[in-house]
Amino acid sequence: MSDFNNHSNELAILKSAVENTNEAFVTIDQNHKVLFFNKAAEKIFGYGRHEVIGHDLDVIMSHKCSRDHRQAVELYAKTRVPRRIGHETEMLATRKDGKTFPATISFSVSDIDGFLYFTGIVRDLTETKALREQVTRSERLAALGQVVAEITHEIKNPLMLIGGFATQLIRETEDDKSLKKLDIIADEVSRLESLLKELRDLYMPRVLNIEEIDLNSLLREVYSLVKGDCEAKKINAEIKTDNKPVIIEADRARLEQVFLNLIKNSIESMENGGNLSVQPKLIGDMVEITIADDGIGIPEDYQEKIFSPFFTTKKQGTGLGLSISKSIIEENRGSSLSLKSEEGKGTVFKITMPVCKAAMKESIKTTKARLPDRDP
């Protein structure tokens, strides 16, 4: 009896462990029918187990994967020669919503009373791949940053001399033709100096001053800086914030730089007036900030390139502003910057950032404590 209880306990422990692991466990019989589908499999593939268990494995597989898998099962059943069993293989799997994702899969087989049972252990590599790409990108940017530092150092000093001499000659020259040429030189030097600064911002490593920020307060400050430009261009601008704090952790100065850059992009897209809206919205543990305009929009062909360095749709521009903005946002873990645009109808920039929930709760408590007591 004791052995039986021990055996039952072992089975219960094993089942619980497999059920609650982070890897997807999918077990089928030799006829390709699904017998086991754990919680991780539900999460990774997007199917409920009631949609899969008792059905053919084809339910969760693409046509090609299903064909190859079925052939491998049939071959093993005939020959008992393992090919993929015991090995880990990288593959591209498909979720219920049709989206593909990188994964690794390893197989094991059990022979119980002459019946074969195959178990696939699937691990979602989406986050792992993203981290690898981030590390690779960081290493590439670090190397590029060193090159940029050396180039800007070599260019900056002679550029300052050229600009200084041009300014001096402008003050001393009375000939109109010469003055026009000197003005062009001074303007181009100023443009190149701005380009060097933006290159440093984009590629060189930075020390971030991370602090807790009330996002609503920051957005109102940014609005005060662009209000005059909006009025001058007859743009109806609206910032939709409330008095409740939305606390995030970021570098305040750099985040302000992003908001100013995106809002100025929207203002420049509306040559004959229009509407500009800036609105933060809490969604669970995240805040989503949208900057929407009804300007000229961005052609569909350009939208994939719009965040690439040196790509611009403006006559005057370095093409680095949006690249820098995206880089600044992505320096904050879990944050992203994206856009949706339709030519002739406008553009919506969307920034998503995690909120600092503990700081928000404390801020709300402090605000309530300051409110005067009211008689019932």
Q: Where are the domains of the chain?
A: 2-124, 129-203, 210-362
pLDDT of 4: 43
Amino acid, single-letter form, for residue 300: E
**Which residues have a Cβ under 8 Å from the Cβ of 7 and sit 6 or more positions away?**
none
Q: Between 300 and 150, whose confidence is greater?
A: 300
Q: Between 363 and 353, whose confidence is greater?
A: 353
42: confidence class by pLDDT, cuts 50, 70, 90: very high
Residue 36 burial (10 A CB sphere; 0-12, 13-18, 19+): middle
CATH for 210-362 (3.20.20.20, 3.30.460.10, 3.30.565.10, 3.40.50.200):
3.30.565.10
The yes-or-no verdict on residue 231 having pLDDT over 80 is yes
CA nearest to 198, candidates 306, 83, 319, 88? 319
Amino acid, single-letter form, for residue 179: L
Contact 218, 287 (CB under 8 A): no
Over pLDDT 70: what percentage of the chain? Answer: 83
Over pLDDT 90: what percentage of the chain? Answer: 28
Amino acid, single-letter form, for residue 189: V
pLDDT of 359: 63
Q: Tokens for 243? A: 């008095």
pLDDT of 278: 94
Could you give phi then psi for residue 286, rounded to 5 degrees? -120, 155
- Quote the Cα angle for 271-275-277, to 5°: 130
Fold of 129-203: Helix Hairpins (1.10.287)
pLDDT of 301: 83
Superfamily per CATH, domain 2-124: PAS domain (3.30.450.20)
pLDDT of 352: 94
C-alpha distances (whole Å) from 318 to each of 202, 226, 341 are: 12, 21, 21
The mean pLDDT value for 6-11 works out to 64
What is this structure's pTM?
0.53
Mean pLDDT of the chain: 82
Could you give phi then psi for residue 202, rounded to 5 degrees? -80, -40
| Range with top average pLDDT, 38-52, 80-94, 355-369 | 38-52
Torsion of CA 185, 190, 196, 200, to 10 degrees: 170
pLDDT of 371: 47
The yes-or-no verdict on residue 375 having pLDDT over 50 is no
Contact 269, 297 (CB under 8 A): yes
pLDDT of 5: 54
Q: Between 372 and 347, whose confidence is greater?
A: 347
The yes-or-no verdict on residue 170 having pLDDT over 90 is no
Cα separation of 128 and 252, whole Å? 30
Answer yes or no: same fold for 2-124 and 210-362.
no
CA nearest to 195, candidates 315, 327, 319? 319
Q: Taken in order 36, 37, 40, 45, is the CA torsion positive or negative? A: positive
Q: Between 321 and 288, whose confidence is greater?
A: 288
360: confidence class by pLDDT, cuts 50, 70, 90: low
Place of tokens 């015991």: 86
The yes-or-no verdict on residue 7 having pLDDT over 60 is no
333: confidence class by pLDDT, cuts 50, 70, 90: confident
Contact 110, 82 (CB under 8 A): no
